[in-house]
């Protein structure tokens, strides 16, 4: 029982199972169907890909509020370069990912090397990049090429491709965080940044690359979302940053850094998606859904603080 309470991935897995059983009993005709679960996983795939990057940052003790804007920006750049500039699809995707990485590079440099507060810097970037996304996409760019739409709209074993991309990214980063020295250093930085610096870890360089990787994943998510919708919308990803941070904290990350697993990011988004799915099946209004998700964020932050206080007394 003590391990269950201390290890967030175990307790969250149990919670997901209990919510799933309750939803199956309450909505036996709609919840436990292949169609519902396929749609649920598709809906949370974009959030999960971004959450993997956010987990990496929170492990090292920082975060990024601009990821939702980067999602809209990268999708807009891909569509603009294909439709307006007539660029081939592979080059358009490279241009979109490079643009996303430039946003991460700017965030990482100003935070790691110039000492700007992460919240102030990424909040400012969120507004700037959203504005650029509006300039690039206008009211939205439609009629995207068939092969671009096929990236997300094609299926494997009856499941749309974003779900498979999500699982591949989660598995890749889970392996990297567990098995490689480079990514393990983020835990040392989040645990004690000063000690990590004294032990020879290039803390500022690692933080910079953390922001670049997070922006790259948000760029991938933006391309997949535009491909899935068949349209690049400047409003895409609005509010995504709060959903992702909530999911990652629920999944075991700490706002003070040093803790968290990639699988926890996946479990956090599954839990959030499950709650949203149940509320839709129960026909809860959108207003109440926003209120309930906000309350979940408060509960997640409170539990994080409570666990920190408990560990400090242990």
Other beta carbons within 10 angstroms of residue 9's beta carbon come to: 16
Q: What is the DSSP string of 174-188?
A: HHHHHH-HHHHHHHH
Which pair of tokens denotes residue 207? 């933080």
pLDDT computed for residue 48 by the predictor: 95
Spatial distance between the Cα atoms of 288 and 293, rounded to a whole number of angstroms = 9
| Whole-prediction pTM | 0.91
Question: Burial, 117: exposed, middle or buried (Cβ in 10 Å; 0-12, 13-18, 19+)?
Answer: exposed
Kindly report the three-state secondary structure assignment for every residue of 287-298: HHHHHHHHHHHH
Cα distances (Å, whole numbers) of residue 229 to 5, 148, 222: 40, 11, 11
Burial 159-179 (b: 16+ CB within 10 A, else e): bbbbbbbbeebbeebbeebee
Report which secondary-structure segment, H or E, holds 54. helix 34-59
Ramachandran angles phi, psi of 6, nearest 5°: -80, -35
Spatial distance between the Cα atoms of 100 and 245, rounded to a whole number of angstroms = 19
Which pair of tokens denotes residue 239? 């509010």
Other beta carbons within 10 angstroms of residue 98's beta carbon come to: 13
Strands 155-156, 159-160: parallel, antiparallel or unpaired by DSSP? antiparallel
pLDDT tens digit sequence for 208-229 = 999 999 999 999 999 999 999 9
Question: Burial, 189: exposed, middle or buried (Cβ in 10 Å; 0-12, 13-18, 19+)?
Answer: buried
pLDDT tens per residue across all 314 residues of the chain: 555 555 778 888 888 898 899 999 999 888 889 999 999 999 999 999 999 999 999 999 899 999 999 999 999 999 999 999 999 999 999 999 999 999 999 999 999 999 999 999 999 999 999 999 999 888 888 889 999 999 999 999 989 999 999 999 999 999 999 999 999 999 999 888 888 888 888 999 999 999 999 999 999 999 999 999 999 998 888 889 888 998 898 888 877 878 888 999 999 999 989 988 988 888 888 778 778 877 877 877 777 667 666 655 55
Spatial distance between the Cα atoms of 238 and 1, rounded to a whole number of angstroms = 39
pLDDT computed for residue 307 by the predictor: 66
Spatial distance between the Cα atoms of 58 and 259, rounded to a whole number of angstroms = 8
Spatial distance between the Cα atoms of 123 and 72, rounded to a whole number of angstroms = 15
Which regions of 196-313 does DSSP assign to beta strands (E)? none
Between helices 34-59 and 161-179, what is the axis angle to 10°? 30
Other beta carbons within 10 angstroms of residue 91's beta carbon come to: 13
Spatial distance between the Cα atoms of 279 and 285, rounded to a whole number of angstroms = 8
Spatial distance between the Cα atoms of 137 and 139, rounded to a whole number of angstroms = 6
Ramachandran angles phi, psi of 218, nearest 5°: -65, -35
Domains plus CATH for the chain? 8-305 (1.10.3470)
């Amino acid at each position: 029982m003590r391990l269950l309470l201390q290890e967030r991935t175990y307790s969250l897995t149990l919670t997901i199972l209990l919510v799933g059983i309750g939803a199956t009993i309450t909505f036996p005709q709609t919840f436990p169907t292949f169609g519902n679960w396929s749609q649920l996983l598709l809906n949370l795939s974009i959030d999960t890909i971004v959450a993997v990057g956010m987990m990496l940052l929170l492990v090292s003790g920082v975060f990024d509020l601009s990821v939702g804007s980067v999602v809209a920006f990268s999708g807009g750049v891909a569509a603009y370069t294909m439709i307006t500039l007539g660029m081939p699809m592979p080059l358009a995707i490279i241009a979109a990912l490079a643009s996303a990485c430039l946003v991460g590079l700017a965030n990482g440099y100003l935070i790691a090397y110039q000492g700007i507060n992460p919240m102030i810097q990424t909040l400012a970037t969120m507004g700037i990049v959203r504005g650029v996304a509006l300039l690039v996409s206008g009211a939205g760019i439609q009629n995207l090429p068939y092969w671009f739409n096929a990236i997300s709209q094609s299926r494997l074993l009856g499941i749309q491709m974003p779900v498979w991309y999500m699982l591949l990214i989660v598995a890749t980063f889970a392996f990297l965080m567990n098995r490689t020295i480079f990514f393990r250093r983020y835990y040392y930085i989040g645990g004690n940044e000063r000690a990590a610096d004294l032990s020879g870890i290039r803390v500022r360089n690692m933080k910079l690359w953390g922001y670049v990787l997070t922006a790259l994943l948000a760029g991938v998510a933006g391309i997949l979302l535009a491909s899935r919708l068949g349209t690049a919308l400047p409003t895409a990803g609005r509010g995504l940053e709060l959903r992702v941070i909530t999911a990652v904290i629920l999944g075991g990350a700490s706002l003070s850094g040093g803790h968290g697993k990639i699988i926890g990011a996946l479990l956090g988004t599954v839990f959030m998606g499950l709650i949203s799915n149940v509320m839709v099946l129960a026909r809860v209004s959108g207003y109440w859904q926003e209120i309930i998700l906000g309350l979940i964020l408060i509960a997640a932050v409170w539990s994080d603080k409570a666990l920190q206080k408990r560990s400090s007394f242990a």
